């Protein structure tokens, strides 16, 4: 390949490294994979075209995990030629107040992401390990950071300010930031295309429902409110996260049960949500138990839907006009039951379900009837493509086209 056109997208977790090699100008994915159990033993899975590859690999750190991924792409995939690489795009979870746009990574960006670690202790340090590994492997290729929080920089102070003491806000960055921004940006653009209108004219309520879940109110293509806050714990019911609880809960449990802040944090992040209500964090399992009449699973489904209705209804009021409701994420894309329950509860918006389209069809589709006052869409998210496109934009590369 004479001209560099590919982007390697890296999403590094504390013990995993997800990667995708793609060409953002045409929206083509060449390989997608994950190395898991880094620092324990190491296991790699990759799909490249119709070739699936899986192997155990010794991975003491993220650097060896990256080497394993590059070898797998070379030996079991599309091949891997460093000269074809235009950029490496990194998902970075927390960009704080500083980063409203993707940036080319330099020492000052690394310093800033490091300093933001207290706001995202599970994520930012892991993201930095991914950056370190690819910078070492490709010292001359631009490394770009794309922040989960960036899309929410347009949220006004009325929506991002917590009514708490000034000192907390001024000294410790206590405010709402929001997450899943890369997904919301991608899905908003797709929704505008489906509505056949410019993105800066559309008002949307987008529900990103996966293991993590958040809702976003989009006005004229920009985020104006979202359900996650200082951290990804606030808002909707999630796989293992509680979403909203009374802020006095921590102090109450400290008094009556001697719970310390670390245990409280761990319980709300890892042992709550669907897991806390049913013992299962996987929505498919909850659905299947519910269909067999399991009362815990039934309650979990109802609590999930109730919370979604509160947020979606509130966002509709804030926006004043909703051009479309959008479902994305593993649950949003794949659960007709959940979508039907949410739309049934939103009678006020005049959503009329098309049962056949809701039950099955193309991954990306409209799921409301022709008479529905507001359309609802299922739009599979593609955060990797959005990150790769962001790399092109930030590097000033020529116009993107193809899969919009
Ligand atoms: P993550 O936030 O980890 O990226 P995903 O977006 O992949 O998560 O979503 C995972 C969730 O999607 C799980 O709760 C899973 O049970 C749910 N899910 C996947 N497929 C289906 C399906 N066919 N029906 C209902 N839920 C599904």
Q: Which of 137, 167, 148, 149 is nearest to 69 (CA)?
A: 137
Look at phi and psi of residue 79 and say left if phi exceeds 0, alpha if psi is from -120 to 50, else beta: left
Atom 12, ligand 1: residue with shortest CA distance: 330
Q: Give residue 79's pLDDT.
A: 82
Q: What's the pLDDT score for residue 402?
A: 37
Which pLDDT does position 3 carry in this prediction? Answer: 73
Give the pLDDT of residue 401. 38
Q: What is the DSSP string of 276-293?
A: HHHS---HHHHHHHHHTT
Helix (H, G, I), strand (E, B) or coil at 146: strand
Q: Which of 91, 207, 211, 228 for mutating ligand 1's site (highest number of atoms within 8 Å of CB)?
A: 211
CA distances from 353 to 98, 192, 298, 330, 350 (A): 41, 20, 22, 20, 10
Residues 6+ apart with CB under 8 A from 373: 349, 350, 351, 352
| Of the candidates 185, 201, 228, the residue with the CA atom closest to the CA atom of residue 326 | 185
Helix H or strand E encompassing 359: helix 355-359
DSSP-assigned letter for residue 305: H
Cβ-contact 244, 225 below 8 angstroms: no
β 6-12/213-219 pair status = unpaired
- Determine the pLDDT at residue 17: 95
pTM of the model: 0.94
From the candidates 23, 41, 75, 148, give the one annotated as an active-site residue.
148
Q: Is the CB of 212 under 6 A from ligand 1?
A: yes
Q: What's the 27 CA to ligand 1 centre distance in angstroms?
A: 23
* CA R_g for the chain: 21
Q: Are strands 85-92 and 6-12 parallel, antiparallel or unpaired?
A: parallel
The token pair at 222 is: 């920009």
CA of 284 from ligand 1 middle (Å) equals 7
CA 241/CA 109 separation, integer angstroms: 30
Q: Ligand 1 centroid to 80 CA: how many Å?
A: 31
Low-confidence ranges of the chain (pLDDT < 50): 1-2, 398-404
**CA distance readout (Å), 337 to 94, 283, 285, 301:** 33, 11, 13, 10
Which of 140-173 are b and which e, b meaning 16 or more Cβ less than 10 Å from the residue's Cβ? Answer: ebbbbbbbbbbbbbbbeeebbeeeeeeeeeeeee
Q: How many residues does the chain have?
A: 404
> What's the CA gap between 64 and 301, in Å, rounded?
41
């Amino acid at each position: 390949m004479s001209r560099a056109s590919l982007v390697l997208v890296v999403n590094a977790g504390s013990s995993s490294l997800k990667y995708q090699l793609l060409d953002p100008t045409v929206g083509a994915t060449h390989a997608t994979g994950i190395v898991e159990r880094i620092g324990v033993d190491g296991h790699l899975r990759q799909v490249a075209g119709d070739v699936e590859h899986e192997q155990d690999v010794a991975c003491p750190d993220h650097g060896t995990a990256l080497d394993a991924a590059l070898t797998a792409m070379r030996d079991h995939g599309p091949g891997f030629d460093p000269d074809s690489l235009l950029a490496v795009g990194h998902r970075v979870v927390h960009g704080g107040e500083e980063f409203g746009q993707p940036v080319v990574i330099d020492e000052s960006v690394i310093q800033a992401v490091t300093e933001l670690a207290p706001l995202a202790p599970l994520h930012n340090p892991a993201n930095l390990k991914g950056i370190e590994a690819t910078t070492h492997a490709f010292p001359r290729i631009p490394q770009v950071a794309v922040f989960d929080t960036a899309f929410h920089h347009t949220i006004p102070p009325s929506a991002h300010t917590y009514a708490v003491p000034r000192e907390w806000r001024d000294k410790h960055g206590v405010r709402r930031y929001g997450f899943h921004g890369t997904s919301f940006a991608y899905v908003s653009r797709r929704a505008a295309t489906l509505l056949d209108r410019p993105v800066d004219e559309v008002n949307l309520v987008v529900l990103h429902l996966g293991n993590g879940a958040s809702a976003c109110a989009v006005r004229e293509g920009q985020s104006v409110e979202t359900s996650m806050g200082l951290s990804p714990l606030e808002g909707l019911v999630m796989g293992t996260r509680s979403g909203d609880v009374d802020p006095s809960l921590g102090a109450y449990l400290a008094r009556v049960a001697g719970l310390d802040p670390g245990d409280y944090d761990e319980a709300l992040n890892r042992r709550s949500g669907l897991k806390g209500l049913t013992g299962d964090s996987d929505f498919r399992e909850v659905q299947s138990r519910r269909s067999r009449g399991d009362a815990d699973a039934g309650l979990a489904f109802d609590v999930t839907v109730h919370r979604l209705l509160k947020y979606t209804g509130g966002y509709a009021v804030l926006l004043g006009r909703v051009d479309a409701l959008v479902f994305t994420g593993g649950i949003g894309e794949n659960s007709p039951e959940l979508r039907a329950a949410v739309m049934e509860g939103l009678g006020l918006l005049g959503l009329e379900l098309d049962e056949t389209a809701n039950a099955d069809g193309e991954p990306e589709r409209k799921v409301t009837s022709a008479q529905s006052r507001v359309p609802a869409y299922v739009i599979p998210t593609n955060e990797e493509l959005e990150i790769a496109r962001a790399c092109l934009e930030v590097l000033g590369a020529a116009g993107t086209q193809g899969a919009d």
